[in-house]
Amino acid sequence: MLSVKKIVITGPESSGKSTLSQQLAAHYCTQWVPEFARSYLEQLDRPYRQEDLLEIARGQAAMEDRKKLEASQYLFCDTGLEVIKIWSLFKYGTVDQRIEDLLANRSYDFFLLCKPDLEWTPDPLRETPNSEDRWRLFELYRQEIEELDVPFAEIGGQESRRLQLAIAAVHEQFVVRT
């Protein structure tokens, strides 16, 4: 039996992560993990606080673990715990050590880092419409992935091009190299 490879689709807000995660899961006939933060924040009856980020991290990790049991070959994660760490640093200037510990104890096989070269789409949960902020966040994601020492590919372009690039990157990482 093949082990399931966990592939995280990450990047700034409105960079096509959710769409790409769903498309890749459909293409490979497997599971994808939605962004837990979205469902958590939609149910919150107050503005979120930094303390909520730990609960979001725990929820994301638990959902990844559940979905991995149902996946075949690949599991596509619409964001990972690196997003929570980076957002905490960006918004609050600090990260709860428990989030750092959760991230350090997760293992991912590959990252697809989405460039913020798509038009920003307004959404009540999104906070960074400024292009400079989105590119600054992109650089923080790249730095974090490099520190995690996990292979990654940068994905850009419009929707159909992103999917083609992502499929090619997954193929290169897991088929050509084995």
Rg of the chain, C-alpha, whole Å: 15
Q: Judge contact between 137 and 128, C-beta under 8 A.
A: yes
Cβ neighbors of 11 (< 8 A, separation 6 or more) are 17, 113, 114, 115, 116, 137, 138, 141
Would you state the pLDDT for residue 130?
Answer: 75
Three-state SS annotation for 107-166: CCCEEEEECCCCCCCCCCCCCCCCHHHHHHHHHHHHHHHHHHCCCEEEECCCHHHHHHHH
Please give the tally of structural domains in the chain. Answer: 1
Would you state the pLDDT for residue 177?
Answer: 67
Task: State pTM to two decimals.
Answer: 0.93
Pairing of the two strands 5-10 and 74-78 = parallel
**Ranges of residues in the chain whose predicted pLDDT is under 50:** 1
Nearest C-alpha neighbor of 64 from the set 88, 39, 36, 44: 36
Domain span at 32: 5-176
CATH code, domain with 169: 3.40.50.300
Q: Judge contact between 50 and 88, C-beta under 8 A.
A: yes
Would you state the pLDDT for residue 1?
Answer: 47
Would you state the pLDDT for residue 60?
Answer: 97
Would you state the pLDDT for residue 121?
Answer: 75
